[in-house]
Amino acid sequence: MAFDTRTLLRKPMADPIRMQKSLQKFGIPRPIRDTIVVGTKSVLAPGEETRRKAHAATAAVPKSVPMDVLKRDGAAILAGEHLPQAVPAALALQEFFGTLEQAGRVKKPDGHYKSDFLVRLAGNEEVLALAPVRDFVLSDELLGMASRYFDQVPVLSGVWFWWSPVNKSKAESQLYHYDGEDKSQLKIILNVVDVDENTGPFSFLSAPASEAVAATRRHSARLDDDLVNAAVGAEAVSRLIGPAGTVGAVDTSRCLHYGSRGNSRQRLILMLQFTRFLAPKASLPSWDLEAADLASEGLDDIRKMVLNLS
C-alpha cells in the first residue's frame, strides 16, 4: 500500500505553528514563512484543496444569512429561525456549565500569563459529546455557510466553551484586534446565556469598516477605541446581543473585534473556528470520533472533510 503523506501533517515537524516558530528562529520573514508552510501542506496533501473546492458546490445553501452579504461584510448576526439547533445547544451548555461548577472546574487560571477575563472551560470532543452541541456544530446550515464562505470545504479547527467572569479590565482581546491564522477564517459564536451590553458582548466591525480603520492586518496589534471611532464612528460597531441561542458568524481575520469587556454579569459562549485546509498558522485538527461520540454516525463527505478525516 502506498504511504499516505497526509499522515505527516499530523506530526509535530509539519505542524504549522511549530514550523512557524522554527522558521522565525532563523529570522525568516513572515510572508516567506507562510509560503513555506502552505507549500509543505500542499505537497503532503496533493489535490486536497481542489477536492475541497469541488465539494463546496454540493454543500447546503444557508438560509440564515445571504452569502453575498456575509462575503462582503465578513460578519453577520444569523437569523435564528434557520438554526433550530442553536437554542437546544445553548440549553445543553447551560446544564454542562452547572456540571463543571459542581466539579470545581469554573475558576480563573492560576498563572499570571493567562487572561482571567476569558477562560476556556472545555472544548473540542468534550463539548461535541453533548448531542445538541454536535447537532448545532455539524448542522447543514453552518457547514454549508462555512463551505460557501471559503468556496471550499474548510476544517473545523476548534470548538471552545468560554467563560467571561465579571471584570473591569480592558486589555489584550478586550481591545480591537484581528486574528491571524490566515487571511480569512470563520468564527461562529453562540450566546449560551442571555447577553446584553453588561455581559461583555462579542463586538465587531464589518470587513469594509475594518479596512477603513486599519489597512494592515497585523494580528498582534491592539487598536484604541478612539482611533477606531475617529475613523468609522462609534455606531459602526455591531454587538452580538440577544437571548441564549443568538448566533453570530464573524471572519475575525477580516473584521476588527473584541469581547468580554466591562462584564457586570458573567458571559458564556460557544465558539467554533473554521479555517482553510492550507491556512498558514492553523494546525490541522485530529478529531477523536470516539470521544466526540461520532464513531457510529454515518458521516458524509463534507462532514469527513470538515473533521479532517481522510
Binding site for Fe ion (CB under 5 A): 179
CB 224 within 8 A of CB 175: yes
Core vs surface per residue 176-203: b (16+ CB within 10 A) or e:
bbbbbbbebbbbbbbbbbebeeebbbbb
Minimum CB distance to Fe ion, residue 209 (Å): 16
Q: In what order do the strands lie in the sheet with 155-164?
A: 75-77, 247-250, 186-191, 267-275, 155-164, 119-123
Give whichever of 96 and 202 is closer to Fe ion, judged by the CB atom.
202
Give whichever of 179 and 182 is closer to Fe ion, judged by the CB atom.
179
Minimum CB distance to Fe ion, residue 211 (Å): 17
What cell numbers appear for 11 in the block?
Answer: 506530526
Q: How far apart are CA 93 and CA 161, in angstroms?
A: 8
With CB atoms as reference, the residue minimizing the distance to Fe ion is 179
Minimum CB distance to Fe ion, residue 259 (Å): 8
Q: How far apart are the first and last CA of the chain?
A: 15
Give whichever of 220 and 310 is closer to Fe ion, judged by the CB atom.
220
Give whichever of 34 and 179 is closer to Fe ion, judged by the CB atom.
179
Minimum CB distance to Fe ion, residue 162 (Å): 11
Minimum CB distance to Fe ion, residue 75 (Å): 13
Give whichever of 136 and 176 is closer to Fe ion, judged by the CB atom.
176
Give whichever of 272 and 292 is closer to Fe ion, judged by the CB atom.
272
**Count of alpha carbons within 13 Å of 244, Cβ hemisphere only?**
14
Give whichever of 40 and 275 is closer to Fe ion, judged by the CB atom.
275
Minimum CB distance to Fe ion, residue 187 (Å): 8
Minimum CB distance to Fe ion, residue 271 (Å): 10
Q: How far apart are CA 151 and CA 172, in angstroms?
A: 32
CB 222 within 8 A of CB 175: yes
How far are the Cα atoms of 91, 138, 295 from residue 132, in angstroms, in the given order? 9, 10, 16
